[in-house]
Structure 1
Amino acid sequence: MTGPGGPVSGAGDDAARPVPGPEPSSPVPTFGDRFLARAREHGRLCVGIDPHPGLLRDWGLPVDVSGLREFSRRCVEAIADEACLVKPQVAFYEAFGSAGFAVLEETLAALRGTGALVVADAKRGDIGSTMAGYARAWTDPASPLRADAVTVSPYLGVGSLAPVVEAGERTGTGVIILAATSNPEGPQVQGADAGGRSVAQDVVDRVSALNAAAVARGGAGTVGVVVGATVTDPPRLDEVGGVVLMPGVGAQGGTAADVRRIAGAAERLVSPNISRGVLAAGPDVDALRAAARDAGALFR
């Protein structure tokens, strides 16, 4: 006879025969750790899937759901094996209503099947049960919209994002928080003083605290930030401890040198995002693939 922790003496012939206990559950890998693993094989590039109407027309596709679907299909085929992260821009799918969301679900499923890490660029942000609803949509393994990471907005306070951060910790889904964005309007809010540091730095510092446990064990955490490559007074990223999505490279003027300057000691966690420069090579799949490969060669 045995108890839950092993054999119990005086229990007959079975007393000396230990019974193994339950296997300890393995921790869910963080998004940061999964990013680092994929980056070792594929480099650190992020490529966006941005099916805006002008680009659909440039590709000779109709500005309707059929064009959206074909654009997305070609992007998946061309880009998935050439990038570390693939980032569908949710707004361009949402513009077509439920039919557009259906195409987004198809695209997310196709990307998951390739092994690429998928960032849903949704920029959601709210409080309480509403934020929990967004968390279920983008992180729940049973959701057709589930992604490897989702972008979120901290305008209601980083603490308001707790439901999605907690869901990300449970499921290994990345939560990438806007900190210092590449648009020219950003500094008005992001550069404002927040107790002796910028709002952007405050966001980064709070993310560092959320990732501290993962960093202490030698890894990278689930929570990341968005910091643009064109930001003139960027937050310090040395201790961020999570993935840094860095838009603004290429068409917006950011360079590989800008990426290195802003990244500092966090360079291995920085994923430069190049979308327009790659997508302009379409609609030919081989040309798209070559453009993604050339862009990725800068960030290996």
Structure 2
Amino acid sequence: MTAPDAVPFGRRLAEAVADRGPLCVGIDPHRSLLLDWGLTDDVDGLRRFTDLVVEALAGRVALLKPQSAFYERHGSRGIAVLEEAVVRARAAGALVLLDAKRGDIGSTMDAYADYLRPEHPMAVDALTVSPFLGPGSLDPAARTARASGGGLFVLARTSNPEGGEVQHATAGGRSVAQHVVDAVGRWNTPDWLVGDPAPDPAAFADQQGRWGAFTGSFGVVVGATLPELDVDLAGLRGPVLAPGLGAQGGSVADLRRLFGSGRAVVPTVSRDVLNAGPDVAALRAAADRWTAELGA
């Protein structure tokens, strides 16, 4: 059961999309980008980069998605920069998806999911996770997410060439990717059936129009650069995170080809926005261009 004061992530995401459009911007402070911004590849440069991105985009796009690895590479001080940025971004109205791709079993998976608990010092709105110890290994994270009003995005059909070797493998007549999608769909039982009060009818009707029949808090990651959509998303009842737009080769036309117009898709752009920095106005303009194109 979701805590009484915890608005489920799926509902908060739908509201953010209605207000700001569906764009997710990845915060990926890799070495070459720091240098391109005229910054040093150290904690000071990392902090300056992150401060500017948060100033420019918090509350302006649907999701901010910091990639944990680019902070972890700077050690404990880098993680401290990430923690400060997450707190500041959420205070400014951003929804934060921590891109950490965690995956384990039992108490370890439960510990990873602590990022979703509101009392965590680096509490986030949602977390990316890996299901390849079996989708059931993620059940502890799903329970924590539901109890805390958080969300999960589960790797399902990624667009990196190596991904198909595992994701296309079959068991029981279904691909691994399809098993993942189906498992996530089962988590997306409508929130009001598991203890929440019924949503406001007018607000829910608006969300239905934008997101389909259900606004689930559990989504999957499906690449925007796939040649074809080879998983059935009909039973997902939640959002699709679609990385790969811009520098990775994906386009708005690819999104429409793969997903159509009736699905809750959150496209992700990183370099095509971040390359506009370090000027805050230029970062905002780059994000606004993508938002406008997605809404066209």
Q: TM-score, normalised by structure 2?
A: 0.88
The residue number in structure 1 matching 2:138 is 161
Write the distance in 1 (CA, Å) between the matches of 2:5 and 2:94: 21
What RMSD in Å do the two structures reach over aligned CA positions? 1.7
Write the distance in 2 (CA, Å) between the matches of 1:166 and 1:67: 37
Task: Measure how far apart 1:247 and its partner are.
Answer: 0.2
8 Å Cα contact 1:125/1:155 also seen in 2: yes
Work out which of the residue numbers 127, 130, 133 in structure 1 matches 2:108.
130
**209-218 or 254-263, which deviates more:** 209-218
State the identity %.
53
Work out which of the residue numbers 120, 126, 145 in structure 2 matches 1:149.
126
Write the distance in 2 (CA, Å) between the matches of 1:248 and 1:156: 25
Task: Measure how far apart 1:27 and its partner are.
Answer: 6.5
8 Å Cα contact 1:88/1:119 also seen in 2: yes
Write the distance in 2 (CA, Å) between the matches of 1:132 and 1:108: 21
8 Å Cα contact 1:238/1:263 also seen in 2: no
Write the distance in 1 (CA, Å) between the matches of 2:108 and 2:13: 28
The residue number in structure 1 matching 2:33 is 55
The residue number in structure 2 matching 1:270 is 265
The runs of 5 or more residues in structure 1 that have no matched partner are 1-24
8 Å Cα contact 1:76/1:111 also seen in 2: yes
1:1-300, aligned counterparts within 5 Å? 26=4, 28-136=6-114, 138-214=115-191, 219-234=214-229, 235-264=231-260, 266-267=262-263, 269-300=264-295
Paired amino acid for 1:69:
R
**208-217 or 163-172, which deviates more:** 208-217
Q: TM-score, normalised by structure 1?
A: 0.87
Map Cα deviations across residues 8-66 of structure 1 (whole Å, 9 max, x no partner): xxxxxxxxxxxxxxxxx847322111111111110000001100001000000000000
Write the distance in 1 (CA, Å) between the matches of 2:148 and 2:293: 31
Task: Measure how far apart 1:194 and its partner are.
Answer: 2.5
Task: Measure how far apart 1:266 and its partner are.
Answer: 4.8
Write the distance in 1 (CA, Å) between the matches of 2:166 and 2:120: 34
Task: Measure how far apart 1:185 and its partner are.
Answer: 1.1
| Structure 1 counterpart SS, 2:241 | strand
| Structure 2 counterpart SS, 1:273 | strand
Map Cα deviations across residues 235-290 of structure 1 (whole Å, 9 max, x no partner): 122331112110011111111121122224652x1100010100111111111110
Write the distance in 2 (CA, Å) between the matches of 1:206 and 1:179: 10
Write the distance in 1 (CA, Å) between the matches of 2:121 and 2:95: 16
8 Å Cα contact 2:58/2:90 also seen in 1: no
* Distance verdict in 2 for CA 1:275–1:58, change over 3 Å: same
Paired amino acid for 1:128:
G
8 Å Cα contact 1:82/1:296 also seen in 2: no
The runs of 5 or more residues in structure 2 that have no matched partner are 199-212
Paired amino acid for 2:171:
A
Paired amino acid for 2:163:
G
Write the distance in 2 (CA, Å) between the matches of 1:99 and 1:131: 24
Q: Rg: which structure is higher?
A: 1
Write the distance in 2 (CA, Å) between the matches of 1:207 and 1:262: 19
8 Å Cα contact 2:11/2:216 also seen in 1: yes
- Size of the aligned set, in residue pairs, is 274
